[in-house]
Amino acid sequence: MSSNKILLTSSDGESFEIDEAVARKFLIIVHMMEDNCAGEAIPLENVTGDILSKIIEYAKMHVNEPSEEDEDEEAKKNLDSWDAKFMEKLDLETIFKIILAANYLNFEGLLGFASQTVADYIKDKTPEEVREIFNIENDFTPEEEEEIRKENAWTFNE
């Protein structure tokens, strides 16, 4: 496998040089590379430098993604542990930005992981807290809200 370098430019002008193997994790780039002349930098209009650097950091760790049947439990555990630490350091705003960027770049692995992280974060929150996070308006009338509360009251209690 050739170790071609690909040059990426973020929306705010930062440049990143990465291995082709890493760049191929971003499906949008795979398409762009096919149209691109060799050597030219690929502009990523929708991603700022700070977010792009985080995404590249994650992509580099996951370049050799172990398959489901891989027997190397140790390696999987280490990767999971690295992933957890990676997310822990990030605030919710950054994670949201990562989700938007990973979606734009078509980087399935990170999109799933970041979405799972947010899902775990909100699963125990109250409706008010969740509304604030997603900037959602409560369009229930008090009667409707009461009805939903009743509906849920007699299913599983946690």
Partner 1 sequence: MTLPELPKDLVEEILSFVPATSPKRLRSTCKGWNRLFKDDKRFTRKHTEKAAKQFQPLTLTKNYRICPINVNLHGTSPSLEVKNEVSLLDPHSKNSAPQFNIDRVFHCDGLLLCTSQKDSRFVVWNPLTGVTKWIELGDRYNEGMAFILGYDNKSCNKSYKAMSFNYLDKDSEIYEFSSDSWRVIDDIIKPPHYMDYFRECFSLKGNTYWLGIDRRRRPPDLRITLIKFDFGTEKFGYVSLPPPCQVHGFEASNLSVVGDKKLSVLVHPRLSFLLDEEKKVFLCCKSKGWMEEEDEDNVYIVGEDNKFILLNFGVETIGGESPIIINYVPSLVQIELAGSKRKTDY
Strands 42-43 and 15-19: unpaired
Among 35, 45, 73, 139, binds partner 1 (CB under 8 A): 139
Question: What distance in Å separates the CA atoms of residue 96 and residue 110, rounded to the nearest whole number?
Answer: 12
Q: 39 phi and psi, to 5 degrees?
A: 95, -20
Cα–Cα–Cα angle for 58, 21, 50, rounded to 5 degrees? 35
Under the binding rule (CB under 8 A), the answer on residue 108 touching partner 1 is: no
6 vs 54, which CB is nearer to partner 1? 54
Residue 123 binds partner 1 (CB under 8 A): yes
- Interface with partner 1 (CB under 8 A), residue total 42
Those residues whose C-beta lies under 8 Å from the C-beta of residue 10, and which sit 6 or more positions away, are 16, 44, 47, 48, 49, 51, 52
Q: What does the alpha-carbon distance between residue 11 and residue 91 come to, in Å, rounded to a whole number?
A: 21
Nearer to partner 1, 19 or 46 (CB): 46
Segment interacting with partner 1, rule: CB under 8 A, options 2-10, 55-63, 75-83, 124-132: 124-132
Binding site for partner 1 (CB under 8 A): 91-93, 96-97, 99-100, 103, 111-112, 115-116, 118-120, 122-127, 130-131, 133-140, 144-145, 148-149, 151-152, 154-158
